[in-house]
Amino acid sequence: MPKISVVTAVFNRQKTIAEAIESVAAQDHPDVEHIIQDGASGDGTLEVIRRTSGPGVVLESLPDTGIYDGINKGIARATGEIVGLMHSDDLFASPRVLSRVAEALRDPSVDGVYGDLDYVAADDTGRIIRKWRSGYYTPARLRRGWMPPHPTLYLRREIYERCGLYDTSYRIAADYDAILRYLLKGGIRLAYVPEVFVRMRVGGESNRSIRTIVRKSSEDYRAIRANGVGNIGCLVWKNLSKVRQFI
């Protein structure tokens, strides 16, 4: 069975990090490495991590310049054949998620796998606010702003080595830029598993205020242009596609 590295970049998440750690530890896949990259938290997060962590957790605490810098540091430390993320506010939807990832990547022609995502209430992770059902990738959908839910995406480690890590000049949309780069310039092949992989608490950085929403749209458009996927129409479709997640 392939070794899977799950990377968590965290900074001052004392209230939620334990659930994220326990969610990874509950996975039934037999070989999981949980890389926790802490950005020098000062709110008690480190104490919670040390108290909650089992033998599969590998912790490092260093100052970073933001979440994508932390993720890059974590990926660089990963030793698994397959690498994905678990944000410090998120949870796996079931204990079998990583087993499904490993099953999909038994096909040597597949470079990565993704699933679906539920947005849940911050104070009640059993209450679903939005449903992100991503569906299968096509180039036409990419030009209409499609992307897989980033927290559900698992790639072979060699993809990061060949195509690069996250561009930290993006503060909010480096995940969108990376996905476009991997699909368009890297030519990777993704498998889709139509199951909910992750429960994400609402209230993330990209939707925290009007100012951050505007900045995210600006960064999204920059990524669209940089990767040659389209123009302003692609950005409009990307934002409009979120409406059906509430239905």
Please tell me the predicted confidence (pLDDT) of residue 240: 82
* CB atoms near residue 189 (< 10 Å): 12
Please tell me the predicted confidence (pLDDT) of residue 169: 97
Q: Which two tokens stand for residue 25?
A: 């530890």
Question: Residue type for 7, please?
Answer: V
| CA-to-CA dists, residue 93 to 24, 86, 147, angstroms | 10, 12, 20
Q: Which domains does the chain have, with CATH numbers?
A: 4-246 (3.90.550.10)
d(CA 226, CA 168): 15
Answer yes or no: are the C-beta atoms of 5 and 35 closer than 8 Å.
Answer: yes
pLDDT by residue, tens only, the chain of 247 residues = 899 999 999 999 999 999 999 999 999 999 999 999 999 999 999 999 999 999 999 999 999 999 999 999 999 999 999 999 999 999 999 999 999 999 999 999 999 999 999 999 999 999 999 999 999 999 999 999 999 999 999 999 999 999 999 999 999 999 999 999 999 999 999 999 999 999 999 975 555 568 888 999 999 999 999 999 988 989 997 888 877 777 6
Secondary structure (DSSP) of 14-48: TTTHHHHHHHHHT---S-EEEEEEE----SSHHHH
d(CA 7, CA 4): 10
Q: Where are the beta strands (DSSP E) in the chain?
A: 4-10, 32-38, 57-61, 82-85, 90-92, 112-121, 124-132, 154-156, 190-201
Please tell me the predicted confidence (pLDDT) of residue 239: 84
Q: Which two tokens stand for residue 145?
A: 């702003």
Please tell me the predicted confidence (pLDDT) of residue 209: 66
d(CA 55, CA 196): 27
User: Which pTM value belongs to this model?
Assistant: 0.93
Q: Where are the beta strands (DSSP E) in 46-123?
A: 57-61, 82-85, 90-92, 112-121
Residue 46 main-chain phi, psi, to 5 deg? -60, -40
| Residue reference for tokens 């072979």 | 156
